[in-house]
Structure 1
Amino acid sequence: MAEFVALDFETADYGADSACAIALVRVRNDTIIKRTYSLIRPPRSYFRFTHIHGLRWSDVADQPTFAELWPSIVDEFADVDFVAAHNASFDKGVLAACCAAAGLDMPEVRFECTVKLAKKTWGLKRANLAAVSEFLNIPLVHHQALSDAEACARIVIAANQAGA
């Protein structure tokens, strides 16, 4: 059985380096074994997406930067078969931009997109996270990073159990 980590970022603005929250949900043998959630102080205090995720500068001003947080989360990317993310190109891009801005090496790990997985496995036309979560009866507080990452993990688990 595969071991993977589901990843979700929330960002403050249009810059891919503006992560303000990260969640990682580690799965082994279709069982969630660890949940990690952290707020991140982005490089700019301007928040463009508060209306989406509810986070403000005041929530993250005293939190670690991505570079400061990295040592405590980097091991979550080790010894996994892949990283799962819903719309993986977004989260992969945020991870790459945050690593680059911090002068860190991006983890060498394969990304799997649960949007594509849901379309392939269940033939869903609408495959945004809310629609797939509803289809699979997965609880979701959309745009709360830990809830989104856990929903993503549960999509992979459900696809594995469906024989995908």
Structure 2
Amino acid sequence: MSEGTGIALDFETSGYAADSACAVGMARLEEGRVADRFYALIRPPSSFIRFTDVHGLTWPMLRDAPTFAQLWPRLAAFMQGAAWFVAHNASFDRRVLIACCRAAGIAELRLPFYCTLKGSRRSLPLPSHRLSSVCAHFQIPLQHHHAGSDAEACAEIYLRLRALGVTPAQMKA
């Protein structure tokens, strides 16, 4: 399973706008294992935090966090050398990444995205393919809606799906 370095990515958002990221989690996949982890809060563009009931983040927790643009050098350093991204429901995380980069004036990353939601639907006969359900199936620990935990869980799901024979092409987002 040598497909180069990948980044499992998860965002939490403060509102419906795609550029409203308020937390990011990443897990770096190298040589078939999670090699490193990254988590940070992000100061969203608005002080109105709509989804506190989902992720538990509030404006007092986020107001002193770096903006996406300020955080970018650390994100870019963590992603250095990556050949692809993977996310559970990749269309959401890709949309957030693109919107945040665009809002910050950062060139869009042109790496392929793979989706563990798509891969799990293809290969696991579960009544639900939500991240929490797939984690329960594989007995992967999860603190759901914590971006760091979600990203690491996605990385582990990706590795389990690959071990079951699901190819990156079958998870292409």
Pick the TM interval, shorter chain.
over 0.9
Deviating 4+ runs (over 4 angstroms): none
What's 2:170 paired with?
A: none
- Equivalent-residue separation in structure 1 for 2:129 and 2:74 (angstroms): 32
How many angstroms does 1:75 deviate by?
A: 3.1
How many angstroms does 1:43 deviate by?
A: 0.7
Match of 2:84 among 74, 82, 85: 82
- Equivalent-residue separation in structure 1 for 2:30 and 2:160 (angstroms): 13
For residue 64 of structure 2, what is the amino acid of its counterpart? Answer: D
Further displaced range: 152-161 or 75-84: 75-84
Give TM-score, length-normalised by structure 2. 0.91
What's 1:139 paired with?
A: 141
What percent of counterpart residues are identical?
A: 45
- Equivalent-residue separation in structure 2 for 1:33 and 1:96 (angstroms): 25
Give TM-score, length-normalised by structure 1. 0.96
What's 1:114 paired with?
A: 116
1:140-159 → structure 2 map (5 Å cutoff): 140-159=142-161
What's 1:52 paired with?
A: 54
What's 2:29 paired with?
A: 27
- Equivalent-residue separation in structure 1 for 2:101 and 2:83 (angstroms): 20
Q: Which runs of 5+ in 2 are unaligned?
A: 167-173
- Equivalent-residue separation in structure 1 for 2:93 and 2:21 (angstroms): 10
- Equivalent-residue separation in structure 2 for 1:107 and 1:74 (angstroms): 10
Taking only aligned residues, the RMSD between alpha carbons, in angstroms, comes to: 1.1
CA deviation profile, 1:67-105 (whole Å, cap 9, x unmatched): 000011113333223100010000000001101111111
Q: Which runs of 5+ in 1 are unaligned?
A: none
